[in-house]
Structure 1
Amino acid sequence: MPSSVKLFTPYTVKGVTFKNRIVMSPMCMYSCYKEDGIVTNWHRTHYTSRAVGQAGLIILESTAVTAQGRISPQDLGIWSDDHIEGLKELTGLIKEHGAVAGIQLGHAGRKAALKEEIVAPSPNAFDETYQTPKEMTTEEIKETIEAFRLAAVRAKKAGFEVIELHGAHGYLINQFLSPTVNKRTDEYGGSEENRYRFLRETIDAVKTVWDGPLFVRVSAYEYLEEGLKAEDYIQFAKWMKEQGVDLIDVSSGGVAPAQVKAYPGYQVPFSETIKHGADIPTGSVGLITTGIQAEEILQNNRADLIFIARGFLRDPYWPRTAAKELRAELEPPKQYGRGWLY
C-alpha cells in the first residue's frame, strides 16, 4: 500500500483499534416487524455483509433507549434486557469479520412517529404531519437520562466497543440544544449552557458505566437563519471534550423543516470548523462517494474518520472500491480472494 494513503491506516481510541478509517454510518432500517425492537434476520444480513466488505467500524442504526423514543414502531430497541441477546449476536457476527461494533443510542423526542403520547423539551410539533409532543417535566428528563445510562449498560453486555449518542437530525438531544426548538424557561432552556445541560447530564450518566470510546453525532448547521451553525458548536464540542467525548460525528439538518442544498462533501466544512475550533477529533459524513474524495478530507486534516452512509447501501464493498481508486492494498476475506482483485 502506498504509504501516503491515510484512509487505510488504523485509528485507535481508548485502546480500541479500527483497522481503517472507514465507518459505516448509522442508518435506520425500520425492520423490527413485530414492533418489539428485537434484532431480525435483516439486521444480521445487513450488518454482517458490511463487515465482510471491510468496514473498520460499523455503527448500528439509532437504537431507542425507550419505547416512547422510537422514531418509528419498527426501530431497533435497547430499552429492555430482552434486546441484549439479539444485539450480542450482531456484535459477534461483526467482530468475526474483523470490524469493530458500535451502536448509536437515540431518542426521537418530537420526531417520534408513534400513536402513543410523545415528549419533547417544548410542546411544539415538528410539522403538521407529526403530533404535538408533551413538554417534558424535570422528572421525565431525569428518567430519560437514566434510560440512556441503562442502554449503555446493555450495550456493554451485548459486546459493543463504541457508543455514539445521537445528538443530530432533530431528535431529542438536538431538540434540547437548538434555540429554534427549545423554548424552556427552566434550567434546561434559554442560555447556551442551559440548552447543553441535557446532553451534559446524559454524557455524565453514560460515563458512570462506560469507559470505552464515546462519540456524539451533531447537526452542525440547521439551515435556518436563526438556527445554530458550526461556529456555535465549537463551544458545545469543547464542553464535550472536557467531559471525555472522544469524537464528534458531524452531520447537519433535521431539527426543523428546511431546504438543504446537498452536494459532494457539503458537510465537510462543518467537520473542519469543529475539529480545529475545539481541537477535537471529528468524523465527516454526507455525500462522500469516492475513495479519492475521502482521502482528500483526511490528508488535509478536515476530519479523522470517514462515515459512509448511502454509499454502503449501494455497495457493501465500498472499501474495496475505494482501495482500487487509490491503488491501495486491502486484504480480502480469504473466501473471496480469487475474485477480489478484478
Structure 2
Amino acid sequence: MSAPASALFSPYSLGDLRLANRIVIPPMCQYSADRGNATDWHRIHLGNLALSGAGLLIIEATAVEAIGRISPADLGLWSDDNAAALAGVLESIRRYSAMPVAVQLAHAGRKASSHVPWEGGQLIPLVDGGWETAAPSGLAYAPGERAPLTLDAAGLRRIREAFVAATRRAAHIGLDAVEVHGAHGYLLHEFLSPLANQRDDAYGGSLENRLRFPLEVFDAVRAAFPAGKPVGMRISATDWVEGGWDLEQSVVLAEALKARGCDFIHVSTGGLSPLQKITPGPGYQLPFAERIRAETGLPTIAVGLITEAEQAEAIVATGQADLVGVARAMLYEPRWPWHAAARLGARVDAAPQFWRCQPRGQADLFSGARIGQR
C-alpha cells in the first residue's frame, strides 16, 4: 500500500499563480544593495534559494522610496535603475528555476535610516549619513531617538504613488506576485497601531481611520498589478504590548482585505515597540494565523520558528494555515524542502544538475529525475 500523500507537498493556487507545494520562502533582508540596486549577492543568494524546491520565493523588503529604506543597503524599486538591476537577477534565476518569485514592497517609516544589523542596527545620526524619517505621528520608535516627521496629505499621496510606481516596475520586470509590507513596526503597521498612530484626522483615532491608509495603499497596489497575479499583505497580528494592535483588530483588517480582492495574508507578529514581551517557541505565531484563517477564509501563510518537516506537514494537514513560511531555517539549510520531502515520503522539483545526488534508497525523491551515465 502506498503512503498517504503529503499535505505540505500538495499544489496550491494564489489567484492564477500555481504553486508546486505549500512551502514559502518569506522575505529576509540581506542589507547588501547598492543605492537600492540588487548586487551579485542577490544573484547568488536568491539563485540558491530558487533551487531549493520551495513553492514560492518572496524577495526581501524592497523600498518604494529612498527614505523608506531600513538601512542605506536596502533593496529598492523606486527607480528604473533599481528595476533593471533586479530584472537581471530575475533573468538569471529563471534560466534555471521555474519557481514563482514575488516581491515584498515596503516603507520603513520611523524605523528607517538605521545601521545594518551587523553594525548595531541603531538609528543613524544625520551627521553620519542618516536621513529624516516619516511616520503617521511624530513619535520616536525608542527613547533617545530623533522623532520622525509627521506625514501630511502631500506626504501620504507621495507614498501611495511610490507604492504604485514600484508595483508597476515589479509587473514590468515579470515578478509573479506582490506582498505589501504591513508588519514589523514599519510604516503601514505604524498607521494600524494606536501606539504609533496618534493622528486626529481621518487617518487616526478609530480602528476604521487607522485602517484607512494601509487599505488605500493595498487598493492602489492591487489596481496597478496585473489581474490574476496575486497581491497579498504581511501583517503583525499583535504588538505584544497592552493597548496596541492586536488579534481582534487583525481579523477586522483581514476581512477588509478579503473584500478588496486580497489573495493571501502573511501572518507574523511584533516589531512595533521595544516594550513588546514575546516568548518565542516552535510555532509561537501559529495561533494568530489559524484564527485569521478560520474567521475570514483568506489564504494564510504561517510563520514563526517552523523548522521541522513534520511540524509544517501538520500545520497544512490540520488546516491551521494554507502555506508555511520557512525563513531562518531555509538560510541555515537551503535544501530544507528536499529533506522535508524525504522525511514525508513526497517528491520535490530539483534542477537536473542535482539529480545524481539523491541518497541511496530514495531514487524517486526528485520529480521527473532520469539518470543516465556513460
Which residue of the partner structure matches residue 336 of structure 1? Answer: 354
CA drift at 1:292: 0.5
Deviates more, 1:319-328 or 1:239-248: 319-328
Which residue of the partner structure matches residue 188 of structure 1? Answer: 203
Which residue of the partner structure matches residue 14 of structure 2? Answer: 13
Which residue of the partner structure matches residue 318 of structure 1? Answer: 336
What CA distance in whole angstroms lies between the structure 1 residues aligned with 2:341 and 2:169? 36
CA drift at 1:3: 4.2
CA drift at 1:141: 0.6
What CA distance in whole angstroms lies between the structure 2 residues aligned with 1:244 and 1:130? 38
Mapping of residues 203-218 of structure 1, within 5 Å: 203-210=218-225, 211=227, 212-218=229-235
The counterpart of 2:213, out of the listed 184, 191, 198, is 198
Which residue of the partner structure matches residue 120 of structure 1? Answer: 135
Q: Secondary structure at the match of 2:166?
A: helix
Contact 2:5 2:346 in 1 (8 A): no
Give deviations 1:197-233, integer Å, cap 9, x for gaps: 1111111211222122011000001111112222221
Q: Secondary structure at the match of 2:357?
A: helix
Which residue of the partner structure matches residue 48 of structure 1? Answer: 47
CA drift at 1:332: 2.8
CA drift at 1:54: 1.0
Kindly tell me: are residues 37 and 208 of structure 1, through their superposed partners in 2, closer, same or farther at Cα, counting changes over 3 Å?
same
Q: Secondary structure at the match of 2:224?
A: coil
**Structure 2 regions of 5+ residues with no counterpart?**
115-123, 125-129, 361-374
Deviates more, 1:139-148 or 1:224-233: 224-233
Instruction: Give the TM-score of the pair, scaled to structure 1.
Output: 0.96
The counterpart of 2:257, out of the listed 231, 240, 245, is 240
Contact 2:207 2:249 in 1 (8 A): no
CA drift at 1:87: 1.3
**Structure 1 regions of 5+ residues with no counterpart?**
none
CA drift at 1:93: 3.1
Aligned residue type for 1:15: D
Aligned residue type for 2:131: E
Aligned residue type for 2:271: G
Aligned residue type for 2:214: L
Give deviations 1:120-173, integer Å, cap 9, x for gaps: 000011113643101100110111011001110000011101100000000000
Give deviations 1:34-68, integer Å, cap 9, x for gaps: 4x110101100101111111121100000000000
Contact 2:43 2:93 in 1 (8 A): no
What CA distance in whole angstroms lies between the structure 2 residues aligned with 1:146 and 1:187? 19
Contact 1:111 1:130 in 2 (8 A): no
Mapping of residues 78-157 of structure 1, within 5 Å: 78-95=77-94, 96-112=96-112, 113=114, 115-128=130-143, 130-157=145-172
What CA distance in whole angstroms lies between the structure 2 residues aligned with 1:267 and 1:90? 32
Which residue of the partner structure matches residue 188 of structure 2? Answer: 173
Kindly tell me: are residues 54 and 93 of structure 1, through their superposed partners in 2, closer, same or farther at Cα, counting changes over 3 Å?
farther
CA drift at 1:2: 4.1
Segments of 4+ in structure 1 off by > 4 A?
none
What CA distance in whole angstroms lies between the structure 1 residues aligned with 2:219 and 2:349? 39
What CA distance in whole angstroms lies between the structure 2 residues aligned with 1:180 and 1:282? 26
Matched, 1:226 2:224: no
Kindly tell me: are residues 161 and 130 of structure 1, through their superposed partners in 2, closer, same or farther at Cα, counting changes over 3 Å?
farther
Aligned residue type for 2:50: A
Contact 1:53 1:318 in 2 (8 A): yes
Larger Rg: 2
Q: How many pairs are equivalent? A: 340
What CA distance in whole angstroms lies between the structure 2 residues aligned with 1:303 and 1:93? 32
CA drift at 1:247: 0.6
Which residue of the partner structure matches residue 27 of structure 1? Answer: 28
Q: Secondary structure at the match of 1:208?
A: helix
